Amino acid sequence: MVSYKRLNPENVQFSGALLSEEHHRPFQEDVAVPQPDNASLLPRRLTCSITKAVLILGCLLLLLFGGWLLHTIYWLRSTSSQAHRAPAPGQASGPAVQAEVNNSVITARSNACSIIPEGWRFDCYPERGVVVNRELCEARNCCFIPASSSARSKSRKNGIPWCFYPPDFPSYSLVSLNDTSIGLKGALVKDVKTYYPGDILTLEMEIRHETDTRLHVRITDPSSSRFEVPISVPTAAKKAENPQYIIELSKQPFGLVVKRRSTGTVLLNTTVAPLFYADQFLQFSTTLPTRFIYGLGEHRSTFLHSVQWNTLTMWARDVPPMEQTNLYGAHPFYLAMENGGDAHGFFLLNSNAMDVVLQPGPALTWRTIGGILDFYVFLGPDPGSVIEQYVDVIGHPAMPIYWALGYHLCRWGYKTSNATWEVVKNMRNNGIPQDVQWNDIDYMDQAKDFTFDPTNFNTLPDLVRDLHAHNQTYVMILDPGISSTQPEGSYWPFDEGLKRGVFIKDAEGKTLIGKVWPGLTAFPDFSNEVTHEWWYENLKRFHEKVPFDGLWIDMNEPSNFLDGSTVSCPSNNLENPPYTPGVLGGLLRSKTVCATALQKLSTHYNLHNLYGLMEAKATASALKRILAKRPFVISRSTFPSHGLYSGHWLGDNRSLWKDLYTSIAGMLTFNLLGIPLVGADICGFSEEPQEELCVRWTQLGAFYPFARNHNSLDMEPQDPTVFSPLARTAMKQALLLRYSFFPFLYTLFHHAHVKGHTVARPLMFEFPKDIETYGIDRQFLWGRSLLVTPVLEPRVDHVDGYFPEGLWYDYYTGDSVSSKGEKFHLSAPLDKINLHLRQGSVIPTQEPKLTLWVSNGQPLHLVSALSDDGSASGDLFWDDGETIDTYETNQYTYVVFNISQNVMTSHVLHSNQEGSFITIDSTSFYGVREKPSRVLVNSKEVPFLYRDNQVLSVANLGLGLIQNFTISWM
C-alpha cells in the first residue's frame, strides 16, 4: 500500500529489502512506514488459556478481516492504477453489484482521508482563482473534506486545503541504487501519470556527500537536459569521510529522509507527500522538526515565519513592500532552529517561479514550475555555521569599499544639481557626517541612462568634483530600460546595443519593447557576455563626463509599466503555465517582460529571477575596470550569490512606524542570505516624513550595515538639516556614533567576506539554546558583541529589551546589567538609542569626523567588557579601504586583543604599511571589580581613572597598532 505519513525518528527503520542483485547492490535503506495502531496487520500470539470456542470465533473473525483486507488492497491497487485512465470497455458490472462496490470504495476512501490530521494535509488543488468542489478534487483522485467552520473564515489561499493527497496517491519508486565516488545514484520510476501535463516518468537521483556538514541532492531527467541555474557552486572531489547526517531511503513510494547523526533529529523527510516532476510542475514536501523557520526572501514579514498555512511566492516583482506578496528578489533558502539549539539549512537551487508553503504539521512544500530539483542540506550545527556553509556554496560577500559604510543621502526630487549641492553644503555647515551623495533619475536627460540634463543638472560634474575635494563620493541611479524612441544616430546606447544584439528579444526574435521612465524601452540581456562589454563601454563613456564612484541599479526585476511588451505576449504554456504560483497580478508577465522573451542563455521564463543578479555582476565588473577599486553597487532585485557583487536596499518603504519595525526583519533576513550590506530607506521613501519618526529611524539606521536616507518625489525633504534643532542634534549624534564604530563594523565585514559571518545578527545566533531569542526582531546584534535596542513606537521615552543570560554593559556609561534571560525597561529619551556590550568583548572605536576618510585616520579607543572571570577578546582588521582583494594578496593588518587575569595583550598576526599609520590612544575596561593600585603599559606605570561603576580608563597611550603591547593593572 502506498502511504505518505510523517515519520518520527523512532519510526524510521531499515526493512532489509533487496533490489535485484544481478544488476544492483543490496537495497539497504528502505524506510518502513508504520501503520496506525488500529489497522495493524501483525498476527497476535494466542495464549494457552483460550478455549476452543474462542479459537473458532477468532478464526472466523480473522477470515472476515482477511477478506476485507484483500478487498481493500484490490481497491487501492485499482484506484492507483486507474487514477488518470478511463475505465476499460466491458468492466461495468450489474447495477446492484457496482453500487455495493462503489459504496465500499467510497467508505474505504473516506476513512483513509479522514484520519489525516488537518495540519498534515498537503494541497492537491493549489491553483488560485478556482473554487474547488468535490467533483474537481476527486477528478484528481484526491481527498475532499471541507475545513471545519472555525477555519472556514480563513483565506482559501493560506487556509487548510479542502482537497489533499490521499495515502495511495501514485508517486515514484526507487528501482535501482548504486554507489558513486561521492555518494549514491539511483533511478526513480513512476507508472501512472498525474494531473499536470508533461509528466517525466523516469528520473535520475544523485546524492552527493560533499562535506561532513553539506549534503547535495540532484533529481534530473536523464533523457533530456533541463534548465539549470548558471551560478558557480563548489564541486566535491571526494566523499565526506565523517558525515554528520544519516540518509535513509524509502523504495515505494520513493522518499528521502535525512537525520542528524548526533541527535537523530529528522531534518528532511519527503515521504509525507508525493513527488511531482512534470515539465512545468515540480513539487515535493517535507516534514519540519520545528516551527522556527527563517529566510525565504524576499518578503515583508516578521523575521520568524509563520507556519500557519503561509504561502511565500518567489518571482521578482516591482511593488512597494507589503505582506503576502512576491517582492524584488528570490531566495529559496531557509534556516531552521531545532529543539536543543541545533540549526540546519536547506537551499533549493532553482530560479523559476515558485511557491513555498509552510503548514502547521510543521511541514513545508516546494512547488516550482521549471528547472530541476537541485538542493542542499546544511548541518550547522549552530545557526552561524549554517550560514557559513550556505555562502560556501553561493559565494562569500565582497569586502565593501570603506566609504560604503558611511552615511548616504538621496532623494527623488532634488530637481537640479545646484539643489543637490545645497543639501551637501547644509550638511557640512551643520557638522553632520556624510560620505555619499546620490541622485535619482532627476539627473538624467529625459530619464535616459548615461545622460544628464544639460539644463537642470548642468553643474553635475562640478558637484562631483566638489564632493571629491571634500573626501566625499557620488552615486547615481541606473535603470536597465534603454530608451528606444530617439532618431537613429542620436543615442549611442540604443544604437550600439541594436548593432551588437544585446537586447532581450520577443518570441519572434525581434527586440522586445516595453515601457519604463523614458517611455518605450529595450532591455539589455545580461546573460550575454557581449552585453557586459557594451554596458562597460557605456559606463566608461559617461564616467569621462561625470566621474561617479558607485552605482545604484534599480527597476531590475526587470520592471515594466506594461504587462509583457507593446505587442503583448504569445498565448502558450510559458505565458500561461499549467500552474502559476501566487504572483501579484496573476500572470508571470505582470509588470515585467514576457515569459517567452528570448535571452542568450534561455527564455525569460527561466531567467527572470536572475535578471538583477546578472546586471549586478556586469556592473561590478565594469566598475572594477573603470575605477580599479572595490566596486560599490546597490541593487533592488537579488538572487543567491548576489553578495559577491552588490548590496541591497529594502525597496520603496513608507514613512510609517510599522515600516520602521519591519526593516529590522528585512535586514536580518538578508544577512542570512549572504548579503550583509543591506538597509532600508531611513525615514521612509513614500508619504510625508514625521520628525519623531525620522529621529528614531535615523538612530536605528545608524546601525543598518548600509545606511541611506532616501525619499520620494513631491514629498517634503527629510535630510537631517530640515528638522528642528532638537531633532537635528539627535540625528547628528546617532550618525557620529555610527562613525565612531567604523573600525568595529569594518572588521565585521571582513569576517563576512572571509568566513561568511553575518554583520547584523539575530540574538538567537549567539544564544541558540535560549528559545526566548528565536522570535526577537525588535533588537539585534552587531557581530557577537553589540546589542542594539531601538525605539520603534511613537511618543515613548522607554523601551523594553530582552537580555540573554550574562553580563551586559551600557555602552555609554559602563554600568552593568546581570541577566538571567530577562526583559528590562530601559530609558530612551528622544536623543538616545540603547546600546549594550556583551561580556567578554573588546571592540575598537575611533573619534568620529564628518567623513570616514578623516575618521579612519584617528587614533583608536578600545572598549572592553569583562566577563565574570575578567576575560575578554576582540580583533581588528585594517587595510587601505579600497584596494581589491587586500586579504587575498596579504595587504592588510590583523590584530587580536585578549584580556585575562588583569592583563590585556595585543597580538599582531599580520601587518602592512597601512596599519603603521594607526595608533591606540586610549582604552576603557568595563567590569573591573576593584580599584587598581597602579596600571602598567608595557611594564611602565601610567596614570589612570577608576569610576565607582567599575570602569577603568587609561588615556594618552600612543601605542602603535602593529606593535604588540600589554596593559596590566593590580
- Give residue-wise pLDDT tens across range 170-194: 999 999 999 999 999 999 999 999 9
Query: pTM score, two decimals?
Result: 0.90
DSSP string, 509-546: SSBPEEEETTEEEE-B-TTSHHHHHHHHHHHHHHHTTS
CA proximity to 219, closest of 242, 190, 187: 187
pLDDT (0 to 100) of residue 83? 32
- Helices 460-469, 417-429: axis angle to 10 degrees equals 20
pLDDT for res 108: 74
Q: Checking DSSP bridges between strand 786-789 and strand 760-761, what pairing results, if any?
A: unpaired
Check residue 105 and give its pLDDT: 61
Q: Which of 86-90, 817-821, 877-881 bottoms out in mean pLDDT, i.e. has the lowest?
A: 86-90
Q: Residue 158's pLDDT is what?
A: 61
Q: How far apart are CA 776 and CA 665, in angstroms?
A: 9
Question: Is the per-residue pLDDT at 800 higher than 90?
Answer: yes
Sort 97 into a burial class: Cβ within 10 Å, 0-12 / 13-18 / 19+.
exposed
pLDDT of residue 15: 28
- pLDDT number for residue 118: 95
Q: Is the pLDDT of residue 13 over 70?
A: no
pLDDT at 152: 46
Strand partners, 553: 478, 635
The percent of residues in the chain predicted with pLDDT above 90, rounded, is 87
Distance (Å, whole) CA 95 – CA 102? 10
Radius of gyration from C-alpha coordinates of the chain: 31
Q: What are the start-end ranges of the E strands in 363-427?
A: 363-368, 373-378, 407-409
pLDDT band at 492 (very low <50, low <70, confident <90, very high): very high
Residue 3: is its pLDDT beyond 70? no
**pLDDT band at residue 89 under the 50/70/90 scheme:** very low
- The per-residue pLDDT for 93 is 40
Q: Which helix (H) or strand (E) holds 606?
A: helix 604-607
Evaluate if residue 382 carries a pLDDT over 80.
yes
Distance between terminal CA atoms of the chain? 77
Q: Which residues are catalytic?
A: 554, 557
Q: How far apart are CA 727 and CA 689, in angstroms?
A: 13
Q: What is the mean pLDDT of the chain?
A: 90
Residue 28 pLDDT > 70, yes or no? no
114 CB burial (10 A radius; 0-12, 13-18, 19+): exposed
196-209: average pLDDT? 97
Question: Given a cut of 90, is residue 138 above it in pLDDT?
Answer: yes
Kindly indicate the confidence band of residue 778, based on its pLDDT and cuts at 50, 70 and 90: very high
Q: Please answer whether residues 662 and 669 qualify as being in contact, where contact means their C-beta atoms are separated by less than 8 angstroms.
A: no
Instruction: Output 67 or 694, whichever has higher pLDDT.
Output: 694
Is the per-residue pLDDT at 308 higher than 70? yes
